[in-house]
Amino acid sequence: ALGLLLVSLDALAQIAVPVLVRHGVDDGVARGVHGALLTATVAAALVVAANWAVGVAQVRTTGRTGERLLYVLRVKTFAQLQRLGLDYYERELGGRIMTRMTTDVDALSTFVQTGLITAVVSVLTITGVLVALLVIDAELALVLVVVVPVLAAATAVFRRYSVPAYREARERVSVVNAALQENVAMIRVTQAFRREEHNARGFAVLAGEFRDARLRAQRCMSVFFPFVEFLGTLAAAAVLAVGAGQVTQGRLTAGTLIAFLLYVELFFAPIQQLSQVFDGYQQAVIGLARLRALMRTSTGTPAARRPREVRRLRGEVEFDAVSFAYPGGRRVLDGLRLRIAPGETVALVGTTGAGKS
């Protein structure tokens, strides 16, 4: 609740400044009343200072809340990895598992601590600007409103092409991390059989595929961001052209026109910020989806409903009617019974796939 209040105050402070500028120009400059100009200046300075204090408290509050949430997420993810059976680790590469605890959690952390604040403030600011424009001069506000459908259509097209690119990039980085982890873990074998160049070429291919996926996403951003900036400039020019005519006719004050131009900039600046946050948002959403998939993975060896209490360990190992089969394969062990006494050494011999592991 406190974080939402601070975010709302941040957006409100940004919206209040153009109103004070309008008051200073119309009541102070145009009429030559220095007291009104001084009052508007001091009020604007106080609003800016208060907004700075709100920003400090906002970052601290949301940062603390975000870190607590991520702490719980890391602990629960690690606990889930401890519960999963060996069959999960047989089919999942170590690098992919490490990506869940590092890249995916870090992407979520970055968005929660910075991107989420920016997104909420931007949405509130855009809404507040539209309301303020309609209240001040509905006719002139329509000039800006005309741009909104074009912007919405451009955003929809951007999402259509960028979302698959971001998703592919996240999958590619998992493959790259898995290859890196496997190569580092098996470096002795690699060097013993002189496979360095072969492995390097294979890793370069994987890294290249990840680079290409990221470049596809960047190309979408390189078109969308400048287009948003172009729309902002076009809207400002249209407001200036229409507003200047109204000022000449005496239907609009100079202060109102200046406030409108400030609001136009304030309207498109959050949209550009949202566009920049979109990169982190996509990575966070994909990372969260993969973490949720991990948390929903059922263990192949669930805990016993009524486990027996172990009072004293004798040191012996006993298999009682143990059966085993690989997923989709035939049963390689059927009703195995084996007892190994304390201190006894037993060798297991068999062909590959016979069930030694």
- Average of pLDDT values for 259-267? 81
Tokens of 201: 């070429």
Are β-strands 331-340 and 317-325 bridged in parallel, bridged antiparallel, or unpaired? antiparallel
Instruction: Provide the mean pLDDT of the chain.
Output: 80
Neighbouring C-alpha atoms within 13 Å toward the C-beta of 140: 28
| Residue 96, CA distances (Å) to 167, 170, 329 in order | 15, 11, 25
Tally of residues, the chain: 357
Domain ranges of the chain: 1-137+253-299, 141-251, 315-356
pLDDT grade for 354, boundaries at 50, 70 and 90: low
10's tokens? 């941040």
- Cα–Cα distances in angstroms (integers) from residue 78 to residues 75, 237, 295, 320, in the given order: 5, 55, 10, 31
- Residues 6 or more apart whose CB falls under 8 angstroms from that of 325 comprise 331, 332, 333
Q: How confident is the model at residue 340 (pLDDT cuts 50, 70, 90)?
A: very high
Average pLDDT over residues 322-337: 81
Arithmetic mean of pLDDT, 334-339: 88
Q: Which residues contact 161 (CB under 8 A, 6 or more apart)?
A: 220
Query: How would you write 2-36 as a 3-class SS string?
Result: HHHHHHHHHHHHHHHHHHHHHHHHHHHHCCCCHHH
Residue 29: what pLDDT?
A: 66
* Tokens representing residue 14 in the block: 């940004």
Q: Give 282: exposed, middle or buried? Use CB within 10 Å, 0-12, 13-18, 19+.
A: buried
> Letter for the amino acid at 64?
R
Domain at 1-137+253-299, CATH from 3.90.1200.10, 1.10.150.120, 1.20.1560.10, 3.20.20.70: 1.20.1560.10
Residue 168 has a pLDDT of 83
pLDDT tier for residue 32 given thresholds of 50, 70 and 90: low
Whether 334 shows a pLDDT value over 80: the answer reads yes
Query: What is the per-residue pLDDT for 204?
Result: 92
* pTM, two decimal places: 0.61
Query: Is 10:59 a contact under the CB 8 Å cutoff?
Result: no
Q: Say what the pLDDT of residue 287 is.
A: 81
Higher pLDDT residue, 171 or 203?
Answer: 203
> Rounded to whole angstroms, how far apart are CA atoms 104 and 292?
11
Phi, psi for residue 338 in degrees, rounded to 5: -150, 135
Amino acid present at 152: A
Lowest pLDDT segment from 17-21, 121-125, 210-214: 17-21
More confident residue, 288 or 113: 288
* Share above pLDDT 70 across residues of the chain, in percent, rounded to a whole number: 94
pLDDT at 269: 77
Residues 242-251: tens digit of each pLDDT:
888 878 887 7
Q: What are the residues whose beta carbons fall under 8 Å from the beta carbon of 237, sequence distance 6 or more?
A: none
Residue 44 has pLDDT above 70, yes or no: yes
